[in-house]
A and B are shown apart, each in its own frame.
Chain A
Amino acid sequence: MNAIFGIILTISLGLICFLSPDKALSAMLAGGEKALYLSLKMVVIYAVWMGVFALMEKSGISNKFAKLLKPINKFLFGRVPNKANDFMSLNISANVLGMSGATTPMGIKSIEELEKHPDTEYAIAMFFVINATSVQLIPSSVLALRTSLNSSSPADIILPTILATSLSTIIGVLLVKIFLKKRKKKCQFT
């Protein structure tokens, strides 16, 4: 992240010095402002979802649910600690169902939980790639936008989207399995 941030920022700032120096600060502040609006919006969305998740955790639904997904998780991530497995299952199912507000809090919790244990680097990388390549099956925001613009068949794009998003996730998973596998170590969690 540091390398990418550094490179893009240096080139952008260098260019802006020559082309439009007056825009530099205002662009940066505009970025900060957008971040503020987004976080405010996020507090509300997270509050609702995390309230529901607390109920799921306390009542034991999340645990039961995670057990159902365990075979898939095992194939993807190898062995992971149980608590992390719970969060990861919720994150991935929220992703698939397109509940975008729910994915982030569960994603952060999954990573925090994974980090508490040694030798989870492979699982973290795989988990990141699956989240970053998107596994959302119904592109609800695109559908809503198309419908509002009077598309003659807004749902036309569902099948191609499912195919394309599956392809990106499969490629991502394969690449992680090929390139990062050597770092994967056998290790037992209780």
Chain B
Amino acid sequence: MSIYLIPVLFFLIFVYSLFKKVKPYETFTLGAKEAVPFAVSIFPYLVSIFVLTELFEASGLSAIIERIVSPFFSLLGIPKELTKLVLIKPFSGSGSLAVLSDIYQKFGVDSYLARSASVIYGSSETVFYVASVYFAGAKTKKLTAPIIISLVASFFSCVFACFICRII
């Protein structure tokens, strides 16, 4: 069903704009033109967040934190094999996708661990990426409270994911 969503949506938008006598070529091109300065303006923020993610991994800090928090996570029902995914998800979408594929390979795609990992991956967002990119052009950088709230909420969904996959 979802494969029809985008083509049908685009079709309707194009037909409606023609009907409204919007110049399609000109308007589309002008919109597309905005993409370049856009990508340029978020580039430095991406660099910062990616440098941070790489250092976090390469320095072994992520492995240390993984070892420290694993027992606490287990108490809440998050298996130790999934700790890394829960930790990396707020930083990096591509990094967590790699961890997810690893889990699929290691434990089999239909195992409990793989299903829980899928739900964790699908139900949370890369919080720090959103924080850096969405606010690329913003003046206010007072984000500490919203970031903490988002991390807490995402963590709850991870706990819930491991719980619900045990039942279903």
Q: Footprint of B on A, CB under 8 Å?
A: 1-5, 8-9, 11-13, 15-16, 19-20, 23-24, 27-28, 30-32, 34-36, 38-40, 42-44, 46-48, 50-56, 58-61, 97-99, 104-105, 107-108, 111-112, 115, 121, 124-125, 128-129, 131-134, 136, 138-142, 145-146, 149-153, 156-157, 159-161, 163-165, 167-169, 171-172, 175-176, 179-180
Contact = CB atoms under 8 A, between A and B. Distances in A.
B72 interface: no
B130 A15 contact: no
Given A1-B143, A27-B55, A39-B43, A112 B137 contact: yes
B131 A59 contact: no
Closest 9 pairs between A and B when the two form their complex, measured CB to CB: A54-B31, A139-B122, A168-B157, A31-B51, A46-B35, A164-B123, A31-B50, A132-B150, A172-B153
Interface of B: 2, 5-6, 10, 13-14, 16-17, 19-20, 22, 24, 27-32, 34-36, 38-40, 42-43, 46-61, 64, 94, 97, 100-101, 104, 109-110, 115, 118-125, 127-128, 130-147, 149-150, 152-154, 156-158, 160-161, 164-165, 168
Nearest to B19: A59
Contacts of B19: 59
A115 B139 contact: yes
A27 B139 CA distance: 30
A134 B109 contact: no
A164 to B, nearest CB: 4
A53 B157 CA distance: 32
Contacts of B51: 27-28, 31-32, 35
A58 to B, nearest CB: 4
Contact of A111 (B49, B135, B161): B135
Nearest to A100: B93
A40 B3 CA distance: 25
B160 A164 contact: yes
Contact of A171 (B58, B143, B153): B153
24 contacts: A16-B59, A28-B54, A31-B47, A38-B46, A39-B46, A46-B34, A52-B28, A56-B13, A59-B19, A59-B22, A97-B5, A115-B140, A132-B125, A133-B124, A136-B122, A141-B97, A142-B100, A142-B118, A145-B100, A160-B164, A160-B168, A164-B120, A168-B154, A169-B153
